[in-house]
Amino acid sequence: MFTNKNVLIAEPNSILRLGLRQLITRFEFSQVYESTDSVGLMNQLEKYDFTHLILGFQMIMNSPIEFLQRIRERYPDIVILLFTSSNMFNYQRLVNDNLLHFYLDKDTSLSELKYKLKDFSETCIQSIASPLRPLQLPIHNPYGNLSDRQSLVLEYLMEGLSTREISQRMNIKDNTVSTMKSILFSKLNVSSLVDLIHYTKQHQRY
């Protein structure tokens, strides 16, 4: 077990950071640090000896797999929990691929949230069976053939963003967003935004 547990909360939204900090301080961490952007996150990881990391999905949304791979390679002893307000990405796949240990999405209830945070706080790398691949039956994921960027476009579309707003968020051209939307529609076998909304309501869980 740990002698000192230090946790870093990396989340750009100040309200979410405050809420997570208030919850996590119940679990006897020696120090609780905060970061608001990806650059600050990596600087903090270099500077301090962390045992736990709570990572907001917005911090890594442009390239989540690559970012998590970099963290796991440089800091293999950190227990990672991903926090997201969306369930449009296959987070279980990231657990199965040994890129993180826990995740919380927008469907997580308050009681489940507290339980997972407790489990997260009491977990150390030494206590996790290696490799970090839970034995389970394969789960059909209707979004599994989407790329990271296509998943992100889907998330933004479900938030009601326009093509222009998505292009500004992702720092890409409008035409690129339109192309990605067409590919997205084709992969999910829908022909309109209305169909897409209906589809996601039917397939909210992975």
Q: Is 179 helix (H, G, I), strand (E, B) or coil?
A: helix
Instruction: Read off the DSSP letter of residue 73.
Output: H
Average pLDDT, integer, range 132-159: 68
Is residue 46 predicted with pLDDT exceeding 70?
Answer: yes
Structural domains in the chain, sorted by start? 6-127 (3.40.50.2300), 148-202 (1.10.10.10)
In this predicted model, which residue has the larger pLDDT, 109 or 206?
109
Beta strands in 61-201 (DSSP E): 79-83, 102-104
**Phi, psi (degrees; rounded to nearest 5) at 113:** -60, -50
Is residue 129 predicted with pLDDT exceeding 70?
Answer: no
In this predicted model, which residue has the larger pLDDT, 126 or 16?
16
Average confidence score pLDDT of the chain = 80
In this predicted model, which residue has the larger pLDDT, 133 or 196?
196
How confident is residue 130, by pLDDT bands cut at 50, 70 and 90? very low
Is residue 63 predicted with pLDDT exceeding 80?
Answer: no
Choose among 183, 147, 177, 142: nearest CA to 162.
177
> Would you say 124 and 161 are in contact if contact means Cβ atoms under 8 Å apart?
no
CA 181 to CA 179: how far, in whole Å? 5
**168 to 73, 121, 159, 199: CA distances (angstroms):** 31, 37, 14, 26
How confident is residue 132, by pLDDT bands cut at 50, 70 and 90? very low
